[in-house]
Chains A and B, each alone.
Chain A
Amino acid sequence: EVQLVESGGGLVKPGGSLRLSCAASGFTFSSYSMNWVRQAPGKGLEWVSSISSSSSYIYYADSVKGRFTISRDNAKNSLYLQMNSLRAEDTAVYYCAREGGEYSYYFDYWGQGTLVTVSS
């Protein structure tokens, strides 16, 4: 069974940093591109970042470019999101999501999310 479990969320002050993790199991992690998607309270879904299976290709939404860094450790079946210079508008539930295949774009499995709150 495919499982994605996020961790690392919490309360942080504006300008602070946080590192999210996503532990993957039940599939060959090293064969899939992975993504972070967020959802502000009461709002819609916003794609944040993606990373290819071998970390060769990395993309970011304009809203987080230069502040967030996505990475992965295939030996540990883990995905990460380093978030720096956090703003109030980064407050959201952050989901880890697997892409359906190496060259696909849709997300066939999602974690349950971890809440990040940026507030003084």
Chain B
Amino acid sequence: EIVLTQSPATLSLSPGERATLSCRASQSVSSYLAWYQQKPGQAPRLLIYDASNRATGIPARFSGSGSGTDFTLTISSLEPEDFAVYYCQQRSKRTFGQGTKVEIK
């Protein structure tokens, strides 16, 4: 079973700063990697699919990169509404990483 490990567990940043989130797979997932954002009390929202494709309506400040086992979600300049928990997900058995919380510093 492929395990996704996200780091860091928590990222403390200020609005306007750049956020870099990591997701590492225990074996290659090619480019079959998606990213989601979840705010408290809400359902997750798809941000990125196939490692680097933005979903419909997602702002350009969100970008994804990587292939194989190492992936990155970058938020170029944090807006107040971006403080949330972010999850990566891969294709095999649809498994998720444990999440990275982006909190206000």
Contact = CB atoms under 8 A, between A and B. Distances in A.
A61 B49 contact: no
Interface of B: 32, 34, 36, 38, 42-46, 49-50, 55-56, 87, 89-91, 93-99
Given A105-B32, A105-B34, A106-B89, A35 B43 contact: no
Contacts of A80: none
A66 interface: no
A45 B42 CA distance: 12
Interface residues of A, number: 20
Contacts of B34: 105-107
Contacts of A37: 44, 94
A37 B96 CA distance: 10
27 contacts: A35-B94, A37-B44, A44-B87, A45-B36, A45-B96, A45-B99, A46-B96, A47-B89, A47-B95, A104-B49, A105-B32, A105-B34, A105-B89, A105-B90, A105-B94, A106-B46, A106-B50, A107-B36, A107-B46, A107-B89, A108-B46, A108-B49, A108-B55, A108-B56, A110-B45, A112-B43, A113-B43
A44 B99 contact: yes
Contact of A61 (B56, B91, B93, B97): B93
A47 B94 CA distance: 6
Interface of A: 35, 37, 44-47, 50, 59, 61, 95, 100, 104-108, 110-113
B31 to A, nearest CB: 11
A56 B59 CA distance: 36
A112 B41 CA distance: 9
Nearest to B99: A44
A111 B91 CA distance: 20
Contacts of A46: 96
Nearest to B45: A110
Contacts of B90: 105
B6 to A, nearest CB: 9
